[in-house]
């Protein structure tokens, strides 16, 4: 679907510290306010990480349920919870994210070096996450950090069947140190590999840090969609910190409009994703 652009905002993440990035939304009130602002600009999906009272990443089940409920009450956004959490989170806690009943959840398709850390995603864990989402009607976004992850997704779908809703949507996470680079050439190579996935598979692309703009432009030019937010970059331009997630969403909306692919509404996004 290339007539419109699905815009996802990832406002918080698990990497940046509130003390170093004061604009980062870490409380529930801050997250809801950010969600409302970004929805008004054109975002249709919110990719959610949460923090505890000390602004540290957490997968606390009570907080997750409260967050999903608050976002549903205050917005029409598609609520997508991260099942990745922080790289130190145990598998059981990551699976329990689904108990909060989101519309969507991420499903990372393989292990990847993540800066100085390792983001571990064993095959058995991936299968467990995929099948639990099938059973609960939660739509996955398959996160692709390296090209081999697309082959793993092909294997997963061939052996365990299509996701809830039937539509396959992936997100290329590009520019993570240890993963695939955030370049046009890499995105084109990843895009070509989609031919091995079910017909109609769609993709978004996320450029980490300085790869944000090249990845956005490459994704739009190849018929893809966009994910932006302070999870992925805290610098708007060289020497210029991001002031808010709204600033990043507004830029993505502007690029989408220039490409004559305006943002999808939340209703259109739900139809696209099989929700």
- Does residue 2 carry a pLDDT above 80? no
- Domain of 87? 7-273
Q: Is residue 183 assigned to a domain?
A: yes
Two structure tokens written together for 208: 């980490």
Q: How far from chain centre, in Å, is Cα 213?
A: 17
Q: Are 12 and 67 in contact (CB under 8 A)?
A: no
The model's pTM:
0.96
Q: Are 251 and 38 in contact (CB under 8 A)?
A: no
Q: Is residue 32 assigned to a domain?
A: yes
pLDDT tens, position by position, 211-223: 999 999 999 999 9
Q: Is residue 1 assigned to a domain?
A: no
- Does residue 172 carry a pLDDT above 50? yes
- Rounded to whole angstroms, the Cα distance separating 7 from 175 reads 19
Give the number of domains in the chain. Answer: 1
- Please enumerate in sequence order all residues whose Cβ is within 8 A of that of 13, keeping only pairs 6 or more positions apart, or say none: 49, 229, 230, 231, 232
SS3 of residue 70 by DSSP: helix
Q: Is residue 54 assigned to a domain?
A: yes
Lowest-pLDDT choice from 67-76, 86-95, 222-231:
86-95
Q: Are 210 and 181 in contact (CB under 8 A)?
A: no
Domain holding 263: CATH number? 3.20.20.70
Q: Is residue 94 assigned to a domain?
A: yes
Q: Are 7 and 264 in contact (CB under 8 A)?
A: yes
The rounded percent of the chain whose pLDDT value lies above 90 is 95
Q: Is residue 199 assigned to a domain?
A: yes
DSSP string, 197-247: SPTT-EEEEEE-GGGHHHHHHHHHHTT-EEEESTTT-SEEETTEE---HHH
Q: Is residue 2 assigned to a domain?
A: no
pLDDT tens, position by position, 183-196: 999 999 999 999 99
Q: Are 263 and 7 in contact (CB under 8 A)?
A: yes
H helix runs in 97-183, sequence order: 123-136, 148-160
């Amino acid at each position: 679907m290339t007539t419109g652009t699905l815009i996802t905002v990832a406002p918080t993440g698990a990497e940046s510290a509130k003390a170093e990035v004061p604009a980062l939304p870490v409380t529930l009130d801050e997250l809801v306010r950010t969600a409302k602002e970004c929805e008004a600009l054109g975002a249709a999906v919110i990719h959610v990480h949460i923090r505890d009272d000390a602004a540290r990443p957490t997968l606390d089940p009570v907080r997750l349920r409260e967050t999903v409920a608050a976002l549903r009450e205050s917005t029409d956004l598609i609520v997508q919870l991260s099942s990745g959490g922080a790289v130190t989170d145990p598998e059981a806690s990551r699976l329990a994210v689904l108990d909060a009943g989101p519309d969507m959840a991420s499903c990372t398709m393989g292990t990847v070096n993540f800066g100085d850390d390792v983001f571990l995603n064993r095959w058995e864990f991936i299968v467990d996450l995929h099948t639990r989402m099938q059973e609960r009607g939660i739509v996955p976004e398959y996160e692709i950090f390296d090209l081999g992850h697309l082959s793993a997704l092909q294997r997963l779908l061939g052996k365990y069947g299509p996701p809830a809703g039937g539509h396959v949507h992936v997100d290329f996470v590009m520019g993570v140190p240890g993963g695939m680079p955030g370049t046009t050439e890499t995105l084109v190579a990843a895009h070509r590999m989609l031919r091995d996935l079910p017909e109609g598979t769609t993709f978004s692309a996320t450029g980490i840090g300085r790869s944000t703009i090249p990845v956005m432009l490459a994704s739009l030019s190849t018929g893809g969609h966009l994910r932006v937010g302070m999870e992925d970059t805290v610098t708007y331009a060289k020497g210029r910190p991001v002031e808010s997630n709204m600033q990043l969403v507004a830029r993505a909306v502007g690029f989408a409009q220039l490409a004559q692919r305006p943002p999808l509404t939340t209703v259109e996004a739900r139809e696209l994703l099989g929700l």
